[in-house]
Structure 1
Amino acid sequence: MGVITFALVSEAKPWILALGAKPDPTQGRFRYFRTQEHILAVTGVGKLAAALALGEISHKIPKEERKYHRIWNLGIAGTTSPNKSLGDFFWINRITDDSTKKEYFPERIESFSLKAEAHLTTFDRPVSFSKARNSKPLPNFRELSESESESVDLVDMEASGFFEAASLYFDLEQIQVGKIISDHLEGTFCTENKVIEYMERTLEPLLSDFLKPFAWEKEETVSNPEKTNWRNIGESLHFTESMLVELEKTILYFKLRHPNSEIPLPEFPTEEKKLEKRIAKEIFQIWLGRLLV
């Protein structure tokens, strides 16, 4: 069982045909195609749309069945690297949101048929790079500077929203992001036929992996007693429920990045007094900052 989200219909089309998916009769805000076991979603462009779609999808799957699903985001991406060729596929091992600077770390616990991995940055606008084009700066495009291009590998407009929302409803080991190189940031858009062609190139190996049943015994990155301990600390500091959810996710990311390190403690108030919302928020932000180092 599984879910795949795509930004574009052209990205989804080869998968819809391969799986024999039909339009979901209970369409919501987004376009859905279903088989008996799988959901394919066309969300439209942008991280907000990708995030909202995950919330809607979660209500289509009974809570007790969610743990059996793969949750994938597939599609095209641009790159600053001249060493990456059009049509190359990469699993994403780190996602950076350009506007918030948050980082997300998909957990790769399986061996898939396609092995290459890359870092992806999600932008709020289409991206171009002056060295890759021969024209003047383009309207509505985010122009990368020379220094920015050095820290950017692949670029898209959905992955950070998809991953953050997916992690609210599904476990990290269920969630993967895969991207196919469609351009080198020349400031042009890939044609529909080209997108379909690129997606078809990787369809066979990806489909084989997507249809595999889960075959691992789940190993908790953070044990339930640990989760309870950190939640109790957060509650003692008067964190809101949304802050507690964000704290748990951030601790998981910390453990993935630093598996042998102790989780840093927050800075507790020095005086015995009732915590105001402002103080609790300050403690929360400082603690998250230490966990994201």
Structure 2
Amino acid sequence: MGVITFALISEAKPWIRALGAKPDRTQGRFRYFRTPEHILAVTGVGKLAAALAVGEISHQISKEERKHERIWNLGIAGTTSFEKSLGDFFWANRLTDDSTKKEYFPERIESFSLKGEAHLTTFDRPVSFSKTGETKPLTNFRELTQAETKSVDLVDMEASGFFEAAGLYFELEQIQIGKIISDHLEGTFCTEDKVTGYMEKSLEPLLSDFLKPFPWETKETLPLPEKTQWREIGTSLHFTESMLVELEKTILYFKLRHPDSEIPLPSFPKNDKKLEKQKSKEIFQNWLEKLLV
């Protein structure tokens, strides 16, 4: 299972579609979208909301189940660096809370597909910055000074609250924060369509990494010959790479829950004709249902 929190529904939409997540009808304080294995939360803006959502989610998951989960915070961020382009993705390798001056250091325990890393600062208000210093501060915006920009790179309003709360329930290696550049702090808000477009740009490699088992789980529970066997079956059924990654993780969870049971097989097609994409997807979904009993 995995958990991802987003501040905005426009950030979450590509992930909701990709995972086939459905709205949770028993919504708590926040908006949740679920699959049998994943929870996507739309928290609203601000570090307090992000922290409260992590707490609410964590109390819905047993301590044993938490050991096998990733918990990520994904979304957009502004930047003071004009060398960074709109749509670029970065993992937070250092995190600063502007109001408390606390610093946090997320741990990278494996090589992800996207390599960019950056320092992220969480502010209590939207932030703007004028490179020339000629514009006036905008209403409700915190205007950075030229001196402040020397210690500020990426900016958001949720990450420090998310990270501090997640650290109460999860191990450091399970927690990641990733941000996509949406603006250069011009003092304007990105449209919903643009936000969704930026999130879609990095979806495929992030999804593959999110669905991977942790290295220690794969080593202990799913040996390489067995992993290869299931991957070959999936490949023969024309599963995409993302589907193969999710299949591996689902088989791993099945073995953790039912160590003495045989892994159920998929429903193979009755003829040798090349499978159409929709049929492949149906076989994949039916197989996951068998594995999630």
TM-score by length of 2: 0.73
Aligned position for 1:142: 142
Q: Tell me if the contact between 1:90 and 1:115 (Cα under 8 Å) persists in the aligned partners.
A: yes
Aligned position for 2:182: 182
Aligned position for 1:32: 32
The percentage of aligned residue pairs carrying the same residue is: 84
Distance in 2, matches of 1:78 and 1:23, equals 29
Aligned position for 2:209: 209
Aligned position for 1:51: 51
* C-alpha distance 148-84 of structure 1, shift in aligned 2 (>3 A): same
Q: Unaligned stretches of 5+ in structure 1?
A: 219-293
Write the deviation string for residues 217-266 of structure 1: whole angstroms up to 9, x where unpaired. Answer: 79xxxxxxxxxxxxxxxxxxxxxxxxxxxxxxxxxxxxxxxxxxxxxxxx
Q: Tell me if the contact between 1:9 and 1:42 (Cα under 8 Å) persists in the aligned partners.
A: yes
Aligned position for 2:119: 119
Write the deviation string for residues 254-279 of structure 1: whole angstroms up to 9, x where unpaired. Answer: xxxxxxxxxxxxxxxxxxxxxxxxxx
Write the deviation string for residues 138-168 of structure 1: whole angstroms up to 9, x where unpaired. Answer: 0100000111001000000000000000000
Q: Figure out how many residues of one structure are paired with residues of the other and give that number.
A: 218
Distance in 2, matches of 1:102 and 1:132, equals 30
Q: Does 134-143 or 74-83 show the bigger shift?
A: 134-143
Q: How does 1:191-202 map to 2 (within 5 A)?
A: 191-202=191-202
- Say whether residues 1:21 and 2:25 are aligned partners: no
Distance in 1, matches of 2:191 and 2:124, equals 21
* C-alpha distance 181-138 of structure 1, shift in aligned 2 (>3 A): same
Aligned position for 1:87: 87
Q: How does 1:1-293 map to 2 (within 5 A)?
A: 1-131=1-131, 135-216=135-216
Write the deviation string for residues 161-215 of structure 1: whole angstroms up to 9, x where unpaired. Answer: 0000000000000000000000000000000000000000000000000011111
Q: Which amino acid aligns with 1:165?
A: A
Q: Which amino acid aligns with 2:81?
A: S
RMSD of Structure 2 on Structure 1 (CA)? 1.4
* C-alpha distance 217-17 of structure 1, shift in aligned 2 (>3 A): closer
Q: Unaligned stretches of 5+ in structure 2?
A: 219-293
Instruction: Find the residue that maps to 2:75 and give its secondary structure.
Output: strand
Q: Which amino acid aligns with 2:124?
A: D
Q: Tell me if the contact between 1:128 and 1:186 (Cα under 8 Å) persists in the aligned partners.
A: yes
Alpha-carbon shift at residue 133 of structure 1 (Å): 8.1
Distance in 1, matches of 2:214 and 2:121, equals 29
Q: Which amino acid aligns with 2:108?
A: R
